[in-house]
Structure 1
Amino acid sequence: MKFKDELIKELKANSNRETAIPMENYMKNNFPFLGIKTENRRAIFKAVYEKHKPEIKLNYREISWQLYQEKEREIHQCAIDLIQKEIKKKFVIEDIQFIEKLIIKNSWWDSVDTIAKYLVGGYLEQFTAETLKVIERFSDAENMWLNRTAIIFQLGYKEKTNFDLLKAECEKHKHSKEFFIQKAIGWALRDYSRFNPNGVKLYVESTNLKPLSLKEALRLL
């Protein structure tokens, strides 16, 4: 049995409808859930992964994408776990197209935030010369989740954050009425305030952010 088929079989064998209902409600019923808690899901994934390493190493991008076509959210989460595990520091230049497909399919904050930080962030750490081109394209897109990604992709960069780029993204989207954009602006600024509190404070004081963005940005200051 192939990795994908065995993983789905094991996940479905551990489904729990009673647990699934509150999970679905929490995610605004955007996706059906199997009702598998994170710790258990990861244990199942690890056990099946260990049995199929050669297959995975040869074709992890395609396997991840196949898993992402399934309906259940835990399977989507396994797809992201797989690509994140395998592709780290091994990106190729064309991977941004694959990553973009992951962002815009099955979009919700739980998937997009992981993809933004670890896949887009990791890709642009490896291909720094692509940063402005990629982020401008995402930022200008009509897709709100690509816009959110452009704002938060530097969450793992810490003191290496390009603050000028972050401020430019905040300025560009600060009038947005979208909850997830307002939240992203505040989150990105709050995260960077751990490394440059004065810079964030000065920026926040000199611009006109939405109340939600402002509240989130100043949470640590």
Structure 2
Amino acid sequence: MTTLADALRAGLEAAADPEAAPVMRAYMKSDMPFRGVPQPVRARILREGVQAQPPPTRGTLAATADALWDGAQFREERYLATALAGYRDYARWPDADWLPRYRHWVVSGAWWDHVDEIASRLVGPVLRADPVQVTPVMRRWATDPDPWLRRTAILCQLQSKGDTDVDLLADAIEASLKDEGFFLRKGIGWALRQHARTDPLWVREFVDTHPELSPLSRKEALKHL
């Protein structure tokens, strides 16, 4: 019996573009090869797959996502794993118990395309749904030696708008202020710029009271102020 993971892999194989694949791989600087399947096509493959074989339980959803991520031979399989976890019909199924899974994906994915999707579209909704359990985890990630976990803690509230926990946001940013890594400095600026759409005065004050912000972070934070 074909599993949903197998069906999605077959869909990627059928839609593969050998000419686009090396271009996508070079752009993403990926050790893992690509099939050459763009996002709109991946979205169609996922939609058709879950319509044909909808996961009946949270456990099935988790097992399918794990199979796609851990068994991936092409990068698009991991894209489908994260897309499945955040798919509209199942978006409320993942909860705080999924955080070890997301941590594994962040650490093993270790690049901005995976991490940014996981942070804003997967970790963020779980945080908003269960701040009591998830906030302490984000605080631990914010001080973790792994820079991608720290970026996740910084970016996980990108879609929180008025529900943003500004204490968590400030603490996550302050934990990485001395880090010279591009992706952390860019992430800090992005998080502040996004929150400025909701609370520009808070962002302006934060920037003014943190002279140690890198020029990149400061420029991004103030871009629309």
TM-score under structure 1 length normalisation: 0.93
Shift of 1:106: 2.1
AA at the equivalent of 2:84: L
Equivalent residue for 1:120, pick from 123, 140, 143: 123
Query: 1:51 and 1:102 mapped to 2: Cα distance?
Result: 26
Cα deviation, 1:177-204, whole Å, max 9, x if unaligned, reads 1111001100000000011112211211
Partner of 1:95: 98
Match of 2:42 in 1: 41
Q: Distance in 2 between matches of 1:12 and 1:28?
A: 21
Aligned equivalents of 2:16, 2:207: Cα separation in 1: 46
Unmatched tracts of structure 2, length 5 or more: none
Are residue 29 (structure 1) and residue 30 (structure 2) matched?
yes
1:75-125 CA distances to partner (integer Å, 9 max, x unpaired)?
111111111125422334422222212221222111111111122111111
Q: Displacement, 1:57?
A: 5.9
3-state secondary structure, aligned to 1:53: coil
How many angstroms apart in 1 are the aligned matches of 2:36 and 2:218?
36
Q: What's 1:211 paired with?
A: 215
Identity %: 32
Structure 1 runs of 4+ with >6 Å offset: none
Partner of 1:110: 113
Structure 1 residues 158-189: Cα deviation after superposition (integer angstroms, max 9, x where no partner): 02212222122222211111111001100000
Shift of residue 36, structure 1, vs aligned partner: 0.8
Work out which of the residue numbers 180, 184, 195 in structure 1 matches 2:183: 180
Tell which deviates more after alignment, 96-105 or 49-58: 49-58
1:14 and 2:15 correspond: yes
The DSSP-based 3-state class of the residue aligned with 1:17 is coil
Deviation at 1:10? 1.9
> 8 Å contact 1:91–1:126 — kept in the other structure?
no
Q: Cα RMSD between the aligned structures?
A: 1.7
Residue equivalent to 2:140: 137
The answer to whether the 8 A contact 2:58-2:93 is kept is no
Counterpart in the other structure of 2:201: 198
Whether the aligned pair in 2 keeps the contact of 1:112 and 1:149 (CA below 8 Å) is yes
Q: Helix, strand or coil: the match of 2:100?
A: helix
Q: Give ranges in structure 1 of 5+ residues lacking alignment.
A: none
Contact persistence 1:3–1:55 (CA under 8 A): no
